[in-house]
Amino acid sequence: MRNSDNAIEVTHVTKTFKVVYDKAQTFKEKIIHFGPHKEETHLVLDDISLDIKKGETVALIGTNGCGKSTLLKMMTKILYPNKGKIEIDGKLTSLLELGAGFHPDFTGRENIYFNAAIFGLTREEIEGRIPDIIEFSELGEFIDNPIRTYSSGMYMRLAFSIAINVDAEVLLIDEILAVGDQHFQEKCYAKLEELRDSKKTIVIVSHSLDVVRSLCNRAVWIYKGKVKMDGDPFEVVESYLDQINQDFIEKSAEEIKSGKAKVNGLCWIDEPISYSIYEPCETDAVVKGWVMSNDANASMSAKIDGVEIEVERSKRPDVLRVYGDKYGGREANSLPGWEGKIDVSKLSLGKHEFTLEVFDRFGNSIASKKSIMVVKG
């Protein structure tokens, strides 16, 4: 190690994978397609260097395929770099793949002995910790059932319980905590906070940016095979989200321009509910709702009797949860909500038409809604 304060040192690491196309699957195909196959080499990590100090809790963030999980696997020596080296100072335990290291025909209890022995614990030490492992896992009587009968959540409970009870100085976790029920996830994060406060070194890969901000004291953003940013989690996450948004806008523009993607949208008026009745003395009648579109450059218009009103845009996580996947998510709709006010005292008695419309980047209408406001004296 270059520095005794470091728990992990990653030095000029490069990792590539070969992808073989037109690979024969059967003996017949091998005879028919005899000869060289098409191969491509994909660069996953490109000359990565970083140091993780003892006692740090570090998040590796980035989009799918950026290389963060590959880097974690190289830290555990499941994979090896094509160039460079990774050094670790201290006993290491990892939670990378569900069920990794478990024998399916062994019971949960037998797998505890098996895994803990791999981490260097004696039989006496294991027996002293089994009650804590079983209690934390909440598996109860299922601990004596074969692992192959476990659900994915039960796998995770047992794996996590073992990992936190082997006295490791370095803990590596890759998205495995996304499995399981909400209660146990919260219990795991509370334990991770405890380990963090006890100055264990933790490296976690997570797509939950809330976890990154609340749990970690440092974030490393990997982008196109390189370390794009390294520092305060709040600042790194904000820059990461900005880049995702920019990438989506550029990709969306290209797909729409080439005709690969069809522009669509959706909108809704929460208030006013159609045929709502208003007193003529009201000056601040609230109108609000939301709009969604897979075109990141889409715009909206809210009008009363054809006259546009000013609205303020807002976050609507509830809308994104329901419609995000279909309409480009946060990347295309950072502020789907809208809200404005209408001075009803300036409207005449009777019916008035409130309209909401969404336009694509070219000004074409892609979604609309109407609601009737009734002013009665």
Q: Does 13 share its domain with 155?
A: yes
Whole-angstrom Cα distance, residue 78 to residue 83?
15
pLDDT at res. 177: 66
Residue at a domain's end among 216, 233, 250: 233
Geometric angle at alpha carbon 208, from 237 and 238, rounded to 5°:
15
pLDDT at res. 108: 93
Confidence of residue 81 (pLDDT cuts 50, 70, 90): very high
Query: Is 13 inside a domain boundary?
Result: yes
Highest-pLDDT range among 166-170, 184-188, 234-238: 234-238
Query: Is 111 inside a domain boundary?
Result: yes
Whole-angstrom Cα distance, residue 302 to residue 85?
58
Q: Does 54 share its domain with 185?
A: yes
pLDDT at res. 23: 63
pLDDT at res. 334: 83
- Domain harbouring 197, CATH code: 3.40.50.300
pLDDT at res. 176: 66
**Pairing between strand 285-293 and 337-342?**
antiparallel
DSSP string, 80-132: --SEEEEEE-S-EEEE-STTTT--TTSBHHHHHHHHHHHTT--HHHHHHHHHH
- Domain harbouring 283, CATH code: 2.60.40.10
Asked whether the predicted pLDDT for residue 35 surpasses 80, the reply is: no
Asked whether the predicted pLDDT for residue 31 surpasses 70, the reply is: no
Query: Is 254 inside a domain boundary?
Result: no
Query: Is 243 inside a domain boundary?
Result: no
Q: Does 158 share its domain with 66?
A: yes
In tens, the pLDDT along 200-247 reads 999 999 888 888 999 999 999 999 999 999 999 999 999 998 888 778
pLDDT at res. 165: 86
Q: Does 111 share its domain with 177?
A: yes
**SS3 at position 160:** helix
pLDDT at res. 64: 86
pLDDT at res. 257: 73
Query: Is 100 inside a domain boundary?
Result: yes
Q: Does 297 share its domain with 191?
A: no
pLDDT at res. 259: 73
Q: Does 278 share its domain with 229?
A: no
**Cβ–Cβ < 8 Å for 270, 289:** yes
In tens, the pLDDT along 314-340 reads 999 899 888 887 887 777 788 999 999
pLDDT at res. 118: 81
State the total domains in the chain: 2
**Cβ–Cβ < 8 Å for 60, 229:** no
Q: Does 22 share its domain with 149?
A: yes
Asked whether the predicted pLDDT for residue 100 surpasses 80, the reply is: no
pLDDT at res. 44: 93
Query: Is 250 inside a domain boundary?
Result: no
Q: Does 215 share its domain with 297?
A: no
In tens, the pLDDT along 256-297 reads 777 777 888 999 999 999 999 999 888 889 999 999 998 888
pLDDT at res. 115: 85
Asked whether the predicted pLDDT for residue 133 surpasses 70, the reply is: yes
Q: Does 211 share its domain with 278?
A: no
CA dihedral 204, 207, 211, 217 (to 10 degrees): 50
Q: Does 108 share its domain with 158?
A: yes
pTM across the whole model: 0.70
Query: Is 293 inside a domain boundary?
Result: yes
Residue at a domain's end among 188, 217, 233: 233
Residue at a domain's end among 233, 251, 281: 233
Supply the range of the domain harboring residue 311.
265-375
Q: Does 227 share its domain with 304?
A: no
Mean pLDDT of the chain: 88
Confidence of residue 7 (pLDDT cuts 50, 70, 90): very high
Q: Does 222 share its domain with 270?
A: no
Region 182-188: mean pLDDT is 84
Query: Is 322 inside a domain boundary?
Result: yes
pLDDT at res. 204: 94
Region 8-12: mean pLDDT is 96
Residues 6 or more apart in contact with residue 282 via CB below 8 angstroms = 344, 345
pLDDT at res. 167: 83
